[in-house]
Amino acid sequence: MTRTISILGATGSVGEQTLDLVRRNRDDWRVVALTANCQVATLAAAAREFGAEIAVVADESCLADLREALEGSGIEAAAGRTALCEAAARPVDLTVAAIVGCAGLGPTMAAIEQGGTIALANKEALVSAGEVMTAAVSRHGATLLPVDSEHNAIFQCLQGGRIEDVRSITLTASGGPLRLVEDLSEVTPEQAIAHPNWDMGAKISVDSATMFNKGLELIEAHHLFPVGLERIRIVVHPQSVIHSMVEYRDGSTLAQLGPSDMRVPIASCLAWPARMDTPMAPLDLAAIGELSFFAPDEKRFPATRLAREAAEAGGAAPAVLNAANEIAVEAFLKRKIAFSRIAVLVERVLADGNHPDAPRSLSDVLMVDEASRRRATEMLELA
């Protein structure tokens, strides 16, 4: 049976890998909506290839180019934040929410409100609006499937088990490309985005290098799997073979193993509750040889500590942390601040104390995000 799918963030890493899987299983899918920021050529090519109903760019200045690229195809072209949300709200069997950063919050919420199944690859949305988003999922009868490899691994390890029987959850972290680098103050953007195991976009790669990616995943896991923050742990696992583990009350620990390729967790979501083929080679443990584990070094990489503190504080703190980190990472990629200053800026914004109240709605979350970005930018300019 053919199912319908929309991909929000179709030109990013997760979006492109999702399209690769759809391409390999053409008879199973009909593409409804594809969105991008302003990657017109790539978006238009994908929309034409898959016969999408609508293609949307977030940047309104790119609309004329998109219309020209889609001329004669019969594919609708639109632009802007409202158009993104309207496209996301079109009823489909599965929405892949892969817009990076808080920019994906509105479209993801629009997809949730139409009550379908959402494969969530945008951790920042859940970090910034955890209570608001989970309440909306419950209210609209939507289903949330985690795409992040760690959370998808936990989701798989929980199949057949009960959340009340979980003793602990362990998120694994590769440690990124800078785990053994002594002087972090001299790290360049090129070094930070050169992840040893995963093929990801620049922002997520920098987050992996700072360990903020794992900090955000800690908060995401807290919302997806309510076992209590004190039962969610992080361990550095450089080989990136074990993606997460779940320990049960009887002492049994289940781990999900797989290659470092996002097509595996994406396929898990596309086929859920069944399974589907992927082009990945079988895991060869003998060739890998050994699996090693280390405790995170929170003195050199304080991001996981800051994320846990924000999660414990609750309220607006996680949204503040996420917004400040996005500003700091953007500044680093533009060579305005040193790599070692990313966590410093985030901690200063969190410690500022002048934060909005806990968000109760999407508009509240967006106000917190805007205010926190403004404060982070002010601190950046004063640094």
Whether 252 has a binding-site annotation, put simply, is no
Whether 14 has a binding-site annotation, put simply, is yes
CA distances from 351 to 119, 255, 298, 321, 344 (A): 34, 37, 18, 10, 10
Whether 213 has a binding-site annotation, put simply, is yes
* φ/ψ of residue 235, rounded to 5: -135, 140
**Residue 273, preceding peptide bond in cis (omega within 30° of 0):** yes
Whether 115 has a binding-site annotation, put simply, is no
Whether 124 has a binding-site annotation, put simply, is yes
119: helix, strand or coil = strand
How many Å apart are CA 196 and CA 219, to the nearest integer? 24
How many Å apart are CA 15 and CA 7, to the nearest integer? 6
Whether 13 has a binding-site annotation, put simply, is yes
Whether 11 has a binding-site annotation, put simply, is yes
Whether 6 has a binding-site annotation, put simply, is no
Whether 363 has a binding-site annotation, put simply, is no
Whether 336 has a binding-site annotation, put simply, is no
Whether 37 has a binding-site annotation, put simply, is no
Whether 20 has a binding-site annotation, put simply, is no
Whether 123 has a binding-site annotation, put simply, is yes
Three-state SS annotation for 42-66 = HHHHHHHHHCCCEEEECCHHHHHHH
104: helix, strand or coil = helix
What ranges in the chain are assigned the alpha helix state H? 13-24, 40-50, 63-69, 81-88, 105-113, 123-128, 130-140, 149-157, 189-192, 202-210, 212-224, 263-271, 285-288, 303-313, 317-333, 341-351, 362-382
Whether 25 has a binding-site annotation, put simply, is no
Whether 325 has a binding-site annotation, put simply, is no
Give the strand pairing for 54-57 and 76-79: parallel
Q: Which residues line the annotated binding site for Mn(2+)? A: 148, 150, 217
Q: Which residues line the annotated binding site for NADPH? A: 11-14, 122, 124, 201
Q: Which residues line the annotated binding site for 1-deoxy-D-xylulose 5-phosphate? A: 123, 149-150, 174, 195, 208, 213-214, 217
Q: Which residues line the annotated binding site? A: 11-14, 122-124, 148-150, 174, 195, 201, 208, 213-214, 217
